[in-house]
């Protein structure tokens, strides 16, 4: 029975691997030419299927701790296995999404099909920063109620939302999110947030009371409202709200 939580954790890894397969199998059409002769970048369907798989991995990651407690099977092996799965699902897979988005960005430029590896290499900063964040978390005993730096699942989900936001082109944001300079900024910002020691709230509820979980309930309420009105765009909005609420609660 004690192996059941660890097997469940492996599902996180499985969906992370499936996400990578989808992200790398983007199909042949990345650009099309319009009537004016201009090249227009396309969002291959398989990339956002990879995003969906990362989302499923996040749900599993959220539930595996609950299952471990249910079976009274929390262990050091489970902790390490969880981190290894997280590196793949929320580090490597999102890093490859950014790699593909950078490719699409360069394809829009003259000679962009021959973009150098160095121009696309910054995407690997995300999995590297995520691995650093997880390693530090595993040896730090002071991150039960307050995190130091953004957790890798949160960072991975923000990146995973980008193909879906581009595909549905909420508020005309698609051209902005396939701009190479914006993508470089996203890479640097999210990588820095993970390796930083910025104090951020743990989303675990202490109990059922509102008094002891004001920030958590506030984030849940804002998150539900964001999902209703913004759909997939809610993911980066909730991410920003999470950081802002954490900083404001720390000062109060």
- Tens of pLDDT, residue by residue over 5-15, are 788 889 999 99
- Asked if residue 116 belongs to a domain, the reply is yes
- Quick one: which of 249, 189, 252 has its CA closest to 219? 249
- Asked if residue 241 belongs to a domain, the reply is no
- Domain that includes residue 79, residue range: 4-200
- Asked if residue 220 belongs to a domain, the reply is no
Please state the domain count of the chain.
Answer: 1
- Asked if residue 230 belongs to a domain, the reply is no
* H or E element in which residue 222 lies: helix 214-230
- Asked if residue 226 belongs to a domain, the reply is no
- Tens of pLDDT, residue by residue over 56-70, are 999 998 888 777 777
- Asked if residue 244 belongs to a domain, the reply is no
- Asked if residue 80 belongs to a domain, the reply is yes
Contact partners, residue 80, CB within 8 Å, separation at least 6: 138
- Asked if residue 215 belongs to a domain, the reply is no
Q: What is the CATH number of the domain that holds 10?
A: 1.20.120
Give exposure, 132-158, as e/b (b: 16+ Cβ within 10 Å): bbbeebeeeeebeeebbbbbbbbbbbb
Residue in this structure with the two tokens 């962009």, named with its chain if needed: 112
- Tens of pLDDT, residue by residue over 176-235, are 998 999 999 999 999 999 999 998 887 665 556 666 677 778 888 888 999 999 999 999
Q: What is the mean pLDDT of residues 70-86?
A: 82
For residue 2, give Cα distances in angstroms to 5, 75, 108, 233: 7, 9, 52, 39
Residue 217 has phi, psi (to 5 degrees) of -65, -35
């Amino acid at each position: 029975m004690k192996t059941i939580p660890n097997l469940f954790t492996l599902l996180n890894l499985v969906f992370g691997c499936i996400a990578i397969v989808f992200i790398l199998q983007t199909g042949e059409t990345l650009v099309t030419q319009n009537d004016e002769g201009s090249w227009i970048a396309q969002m291959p369907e398989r990339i956002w299927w990879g995003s969906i798989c990362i989302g499923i991995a996040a749900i599993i990651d959220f539930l595996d701790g609950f299952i471990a407690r249910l079976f009274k099977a929390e262990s050091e092996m489970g902790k390490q296995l969880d981190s290894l799965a997280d590196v793949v699902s929320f580090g490597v897979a999102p890093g490859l999404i950014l790699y593909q988005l950078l490719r699409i960005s360069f394809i829009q430029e003259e000679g962009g099909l021959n973009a150098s590896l160095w121009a696309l290499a910054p995407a690997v900063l995300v999995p590297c920063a995520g691995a650093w964040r997880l390693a530090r978390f595993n040896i730090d005993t002071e991150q039960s109620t307050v995190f130091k730096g953004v957790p890798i699942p949160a960072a991975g989900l923000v990146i995973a939302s980008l193909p879906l936001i581009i595909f549905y082109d909420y508020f005309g944001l698609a051209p902005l999110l396939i701009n190479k300079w914006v993508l470089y900024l996203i890479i640097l910002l999210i990588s820095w947030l993970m390796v930083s020691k910025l104090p951020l709230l743990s989303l675990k509820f202490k109990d059922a009371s509102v008094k002891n979980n004001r920030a958590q309930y506030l984030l849940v309420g804002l998150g539900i409202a964001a999902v209703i009105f913004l759909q997939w765009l809610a993911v980066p909005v909730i991410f920003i709200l999470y950081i802002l609420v954490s900083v404001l609660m720390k000062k109060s």
